[in-house]
Each structure stands twice: as C-alpha cells, then as structure tokens.
Amino acid sequence: MAQSPELMQITVPDGTLCVEVAGASKMGAPSIVMLHGFGGERSTWDGLWPALGAGHRCVRYDMRGFGASAHYGEGRFSHAEDAVALLDALGIEKAVLVGVSQGGAVAMDVALAQPARVAGLVLISPGLSGWPWSADWGGRWRDIVTRARAGEMDAARRLWWDHPLFDSLRGHGAGAAYAAGVMAYSGREWLRDYQLAPASPAYDRLGELLAPILLLGGGRDVADFTGIADHIAAHAPNCRPWVRADLGHMLHLEDTGWALCEITHFLDEIA
C-alpha cells in the first residue's frame, strides 16, 4: 500500500521550498526528484506522481518563486543550489532528476555541479543554461516582461499562455488546468531576473554529463527547444533521445501514459 504523501517546508537562504514526498524506494533504487517548468508548480506532475511514487521514494516541489515556495527580499539565487539543498535536507544521497523545460535545465546544472548525486536524468523538452535564444524567443519574452513591469500582470500571464510553446496543449484536455496555474503565477521573475546563471553553463559542458539520460521531445515544440534537444543528443555521451512528432512542449501532459511508460522503463534499467 502506497504511503500518504508528506508535505513539508525546507528552508533555503532567503526562501522556503514547499516539498511533497511520497513512496519508498525499492532496495537499491534511487529516489526521484521532479522539477517543473517556468510558470508551473508541483501539481503539473499529477499524472505521473502516483505511479512513480508507488515504487520509488518520489519528491516534487515548487521551485523558489513558484507555487507555495517563497523568495524573500531582492537577493539572487540559484535553482540548482536549491535542488542540492533539498537533497541534503531529505538525506538523499543519489537521485534521478526528472525535469521539464526550465526544470530540465536545472537538472542538468545539478548533474554537472554534483555528478555523484545524480543517478540519471529524465529531460522532457528541457531548457539549457547558456543556450543562445533566438530573436523570436527573445522578442516574445520582452513583450511579456514589458507588460508585467508596466503593472499589467494579467496581460503578461495571458501572453505567456498564448505563447506558441503551448499551442498543442491549449487544444488538449489538460490545458485548462495548466492555464489556471499560469494565471495564478505571481510573475515575480518577470519583474526582475533573480536567477544566478551557472559560472560554466551546461551548453559547453554536455560531454561531462556521464549519467544516463532519457531525453523526451515533441515534434510540435518551438524551434529553440527542438534545437536544444538536438544539441543535447549530439553532445551528451549517454543520452537516449525519443521524439514524438505529434506532441508539443508539455508532452507529459499531452500523453501521460506514454511518458510514464518510457520513464518507468528507464528507471528499471537504472535500478
């Protein structure tokens, strides 16, 4: 019988992380830590969470500034350092990191900073620190930031949800719940960029990622993210890429059953 999830707060410098823990790992199996994308929060893993927690110690949390996690003051911080602090606080020596979009970028930064702590990476439409974003991406982002800093936060949120990144999700049954989450996002990161970039971005260090990687991509994703996936597949030595031509950026919401099957097989291989 699966254990009931435990909700807790973990203190980090100038902030707190809202963390949920469920399940217990089978002997020798690493814990799973799930990292959501920008504007999301831990509930975006609802489709995968119960099944993964049935056979593993499974952790999901709101990254700082999102959901119920807090960032105090105006100091800058690192999501990767927060993730390592979470591992320390929970006594997790080694984990499989499952990250989507921004969460995928954070997962790779953690794996490069603390390789001994990472048993494997599941990267779903991941971002990548140091990636040279296209003019189209930069222009759309500037429009959102401009609205937010002009006090038009609802308009900024709508622009984010209307981004081509979510084209395939908007026509999907899971789209309404995700949209509600976007409209509840505080927008704090649009008002000021609080994130500290890694001193050595992952873009130039993918050859150092020796942990096994399952890379899930969608053929309907935007060009920047398909480019990132291609770059990772070409340079990370233990990467297994799998692209579904019919899916978009948030593919684990669009076809949860398929994503769960691929992730479960990957975890079984690691164990």
Tens-digit pLDDT profile for residues 155-177: 999 999 999 999 999 989 999 99
Question: Looking at the DSSP assignment, which residues form a beta bridge with residue 17?
Answer: 10
Q: Who's near 19: CB < 8 A, 6+ residues apart?
A: 7, 8, 9, 10, 59, 60, 61, 86, 90
In whole numbers, what is the pLDDT of the chain averaged over residues?
Answer: 95
> pLDDT-derived band of residue 4, with 50, 70 and 90 as boundaries?
low
* 148, two tokens: 């937010």
91, 28 Cβ separation under 8 angstroms? no
Confidence of residue 2 (pLDDT cuts 50, 70, 90): very low
Alpha carbon 150 to its chain centroid, in Å, reads 28
* Average of per-residue pLDDT across 77-95: 96
Facing residues of 16 across strands?
11, 70
Confidence of residue 24 (pLDDT cuts 50, 70, 90): confident
- The DSSP result for the chain, as a single string, is -PPPPEEEEEEETTEEEEEEEE--PPTTPPEEEEE--TT--GGGGTTTHHHHHHHS-EEEEEPTTSTT-EE-SS--B-HHHHHHHHHHHHT-SSEEEEEETHHHHHHHHHHHH-GGGEEEEEEES---TT----HHHHHHHHHHHHHHHTT-HHHHHHHHHTSGGGHHHHTSTTHHHHHHHHHH---HHHHS--BPPPSS-GGGTGGG--S-EEEEEETTS-HHHHHHHHHHHHH-TTEEEEEETT--TTHHHHSHHHHHHHHHHHHHHH-
**pLDDT for residue 5:** 81
Report domain extents, the chain: 6-133+194-270
pLDDT at 244: 97
Evaluate if residue 235 carries a pLDDT over 80: yes
Distances (CA, A) of 266 to 12, 134, 178, 222, 261: 31, 32, 26, 26, 9
- Residue 25: pLDDT above 80? no
So what's the pLDDT on residue 1?
Answer: 39
**Angle, alpha carbons 193-145-130 (nearest 5°):** 50
Residues in the chain: 271
134 against 73, higher pLDDT? 134
Strands 15-22 and 58-62: antiparallel
Q: Rounded to two decimals, what is the model's pTM?
A: 0.96
Question: In the numeric block, which tokens belong to residue 80?
Answer: 């990767």
d(CA 221, CA 167): 9
User: Is it the case that residue 28 has pLDDT exceeding 80?
Assistant: no
In the block, tokens 């076809």 appear at 255
Which class would CATH give 6-133+194-270?
alpha beta
Provide φ and ψ at 116, rounded to 5°.
-70, -15
Tell me the pLDDT tens digit for each residue of 108-151: 999 999 999 999 999 999 999 999 999 999 999 999 999 999 99
Instruction: Name the band, by pLDDT with cuts 50, 70 and 90, for residue 3.
Output: low
Of all residues in the chain, the percent with pLDDT exceeding 70 is 97
- In percent, the amount of the chain with pLDDT more than 90 equals 89
User: Residues 190-223: pLDDT tens digits?
Assistant: 999 999 988 899 999 999 999 999 999 999 999 9
Label residue 271 by pLDDT band (50, 70, 90).
confident
